[in-house]
Amino acid sequence: MSRFQSPRGTRDLLPSDQVVWRKVRAICEEVATLLAYQPISTPMFEEVGLFQRSLGQGTDIIDKELFLVEGRTEESSQYALRPEGTAGIVRAYIEHGMQTWPQPVRLYSIINNFRYERPQKGRYREHMQFDIEYFGDKGPFADAWVILTQWQVLTRLGLRNIHLDLNSLGTKEERAAYMEALVAHLTPLSEKLSEDSKRRLTSNPLRILDSKDANDQALLGEAPQLADFLDEESAHHIATVKSYLTSWQIPFQDNPRLVRGLDYYCHTCFEWVQVREGKSSLALGGGGRYDGLMTQLEGPDCGAVGAGLGLDRIVDLLQEQVEAPMPDPAGAYIVLADPELREAAQKIISDCLAANLRVEADFSKPSFGSQMKAAGRGGAKYAVILGKTEFEHNKVVVKSLQGGDQQEVELANLISVLKA
């Protein structure tokens, strides 16, 4: 074993892994463009305070999972690696005055996030997300648009057995009233709750709803329902989201226990789940409305919806489904049969690039034979052989590496022959 390995919970993505990764990224980009999102990139690290303010104390991400940067100076010690994308993009929206742009502003980013989690399959300390944010609309259309975006990516990737778990968290006030009722219901039962849920009864009671502990879930059986605490406007909001989803034929189911881990959500929240035979279901992404975050970060009260798809889990699933094909081989492998013709060979490489022809060569290989062997192994379509005799007549030999037939080609015609 080598002295250094990739840090625990991280992975090297080797060339054979990249085939599926490229496809996934390309589909995310394609769908984002089709649905009128603009790309944005923000730094991989931000001030710790930004995450604390947005994600909220009492959440696992802040209390346990933040990768703090231990800097050499006081300034550099105030940073943390981003655990998710929303906080940085909201910061950028406010900092660059995007509320003065035509609204809504739709942004997307394919990003790596860092969380100090206990690593296992599908749970990494560095993971990738397709992050989308929709600013400047408080109405249910924005929520449905964001869900449609993720649905498009999942279906274009050919993922099956996927549905959306959907819930409404209401307004901050409705949630507060509900939380009081929930705590009142659970406090007499607190001795029976799991250790985590006992702790959450004071720090973050909503999170008890999505406890993985079967006993906690049983104790929640008779608990009050958040839906009963929604006023008419909130109930109308989530009902309208559902009507959009129905028209777009996006499968969803109500999940009153879905709360999501982050404090800043209100109204619609959702999670994409893949149901797997004989295995526990797998969360592939989620998101929701977070109107409160903008003002919490001293920005405009403009309405915002955001969502992330977990690309590592999606890639893992796709890799289970199909064997990754090898990438397309180069169009031409340039074989230097006579070292004196190196400059002419370099010019051919430049000409291929200018014509957008994929090209490969290796002038470190000492002999004609070793270059031809490499050309065959790489699977290029043609070998372009530069030999002294032909070159004196301004010609090269083009050999088909699939059929084996070969022809002499005028240098001036080479690119058009290779392209044909």
Classify residue 62 as left (phi > 0), alpha (psi -120 to 50) or beta: alpha
Which residue is nearest to ligand AMP, using beta carbons?
310
Instruction: Tell me what percent of the chain is helix, strand and coil, each rounded to the nearest 5.
Output: 45, 20, 35
| From 88, 104, 286, 306, residue interacting with ligand AMP (rule: CB under 6 A) | 286
- If binding is defined by CB under 6 A, does position 207 make contact with ligand AMP? no
What x/- string results for residues 124 through 153 when contact with ligand AMP is judged by CB under 6 A? x--x-x------------------------
- If binding is defined by CB under 6 A, does position 115 make contact with ligand AMP? yes
Could you tell me which of 134, 136, 171 has the C-alpha nearest to residue 150?
134
Element (H, E) at 27: helix 15-34
Which are the contacts of 101, defined by CB distance < 8 A and separation ≥ 6?
Answer: none
The residue range among 48-56, 120-128, 242-250, 391-399 that interacts with ligand AMP, by the rule CB under 6 A, is 120-128
Strand partners, 47: 79
The residue range among 132-140, 188-196, 304-312, 324-332 that interacts with ligand AMP, by the rule CB under 6 A, is 304-312
Shortest Å distance, C-beta 91 to ligand AMP: 17
The residue range among 27-35, 43-51, 305-313, 393-401 that interacts with ligand AMP, by the rule CB under 6 A, is 305-313
- If binding is defined by CB under 6 A, does position 312 make contact with ligand AMP? yes
What x/- string results for residues 77 through 106 when contact with ligand AMP is judged by CB under 6 A? -------x----------------------
Shortest Å distance, C-beta 147 to ligand AMP: 14
| From 11, 23, 25, 123, residue interacting with ligand AMP (rule: CB under 6 A) | 123
CA distance 128 to 112: 4
The residue range among 114-122, 136-144, 205-213, 230-238 that interacts with ligand AMP, by the rule CB under 6 A, is 114-122
Shortest Å distance, C-beta 98 to ligand AMP: 22
| From 17, 29, 63, 117, residue interacting with ligand AMP (rule: CB under 6 A) | 117
Shortest Å distance, C-beta 115 to ligand AMP: 5
The residue range among 137-145, 171-179, 284-292, 330-338 that interacts with ligand AMP, by the rule CB under 6 A, is 284-292
DSSP structure class, residue 280:
-
Shortest Å distance, C-beta 229 to ligand AMP: 24
CA distance 139 to 137: 6
CA distance 290 to 267: 8
Shortest Å distance, C-beta 122 to ligand AMP: 6
Angle at 30 between CA 25 and CA 32, to 5 degrees: 95
CA distance 28 to 129: 10
CA distance 189 to 220: 10
Residue type, 200: R
Angle at 141 between CA 234 and CA 300, to 5 degrees: 75
What x/- string results for residues 222 through 261 when contact with ligand AMP is judged by CB under 6 A? ---------------------------------------x
Strand partners, 124: none
* Comparison of 269 and 385: residue with beta carbon closer to ligand AMP: 269
| From 56, 88, 140, 285, residue interacting with ligand AMP (rule: CB under 6 A) | 285
Could you tell me which of 258, 201, 264 has the C-alpha nearest to residue 56?
264
What x/- string results for residues 18 through 37 when contact with ligand AMP is judged by CB under 6 A? --------------------
Shortest Å distance, C-beta 282 to ligand AMP: 8
* Comparison of 261 and 331: residue with beta carbon closer to ligand AMP: 261
Q: Where are the alpha helices (DSSP H) in 123-210?
A: 140-156, 172-186, 195-203
The sheet with strand 126-135 has its strands ordered as: 38-39, 105-114, 126-135, 304-310, 282-289, 266-274, 162-168, 252-254
Binding stretches for ligand AMP (CB under 6 A): 84, 115, 117, 122-124, 127, 129, 261, 283-286, 308, 310, 312-313
